[in-house]
Structure 1
């Protein structure tokens, strides 16, 4: 493990928790949204998290090999740097997608609502405010923990430089 891998891992965790907090904020803001552009009530969003692969760039893996990576043809592309948030050197967390949960909407009888059906029922999103608040607290604590890890890694690096 290299000296900056802990910073890479923590920064990927910060990015995922920030995206998770954004999804939760969107869920809370749309708790009473009965009509979206797609039609129907708002659908709860959540972030899908995966462990980042423990890989490095292709040329790094071939460093000790006899055959070095080289361009032998004009069509060969140069090695690209990984895109932020999609690939990490070492390990970490990926947030691949934001999924809309396919749950049944909450039905409330309100014949005077502009989005009421003929039977007087209004379809509301099935977003539980308490669940969202608990998820928000957990995500903010995880964000704080990643900041603490980053600060500890920076302190260790600074101490190592003083030696």
Structure 2
């Protein structure tokens, strides 16, 4: 049964990592159109940093999962636009729009969602196999 538990653990951790990824995408998309009065105040998109985690007892077998170890700001420069009538414009009439690539974020969202669904399928499959195994004794 420990092998079955490993499958649930690996898939569960992978799903948790994809949720972190989806949360960062949601934050980036929510702030995509935000405008600020300076470069420093402009929203900076964020990305999760993932790390492969080997189970202590499984290092020799190669079983691994993934963890989101931190969320980092991307160093992209905000887009500078001349809008002197905007209430947040700086002294020179410029505003700074968040440097978020909406198309890239949408692709990231679809990818993360698909990987999450794949792990749900793994869990559903192992559950069905467990049920079939239990019914063998009937």
Partner of 1:139: 112
Q: Larger Rg: 1 or 2?
A: 1
Partner of 2:53: 52
Partner of 1:34: 35
| Structure 2: stretches of 5+ with no match in the other structure | 58-62
TM-score normalised over the length of structure 2: 0.85
Partner of 1:16: 17
TM-score normalised over the length of structure 1: 0.73
Deviation at 1:53, TM superposition (A): 2.4
Match of 2:86 among 87, 90, 113: 113
More strand by share: 2
Question: Residues 56-99 of structure 1, C-alpha deviation per residue, up to 9 Å, x if partnerless?
Answer: 4xxxxxxxxxxxxxxxxxxxxxxxxxxxxxxxxx6211001111
Partner of 1:78: none
Distance in 2, matches of 1:141 and 1:54, equals 25
Partner of 1:161: 134
Partner of 2:74: 101
More helix by share: 2
**Structure ranking higher on relative contact order (CA contacts 8 Å, 6+ apart):** 1
Give yes or no for the alignment of 1:123 onto 2:69. Answer: no
SS of corresponding position for 2:4: coil
Distance in 2, matches of 1:33 and 1:94, equals 30
What RMSD over aligned residues (CA atoms) do the two structures have, in Å? Answer: 1.7
| Structure 1: stretches of 5+ with no match in the other structure | 57-89
Distance in 1, matches of 2:36 and 2:129, equals 52
SS of corresponding position for 1:4: helix
**Comparing 46-55 with 134-143, which one deviates more in the overlay?**
46-55
- How many residues are treated as equivalent by the alignment? 128
Moved over 6 A (4+): none
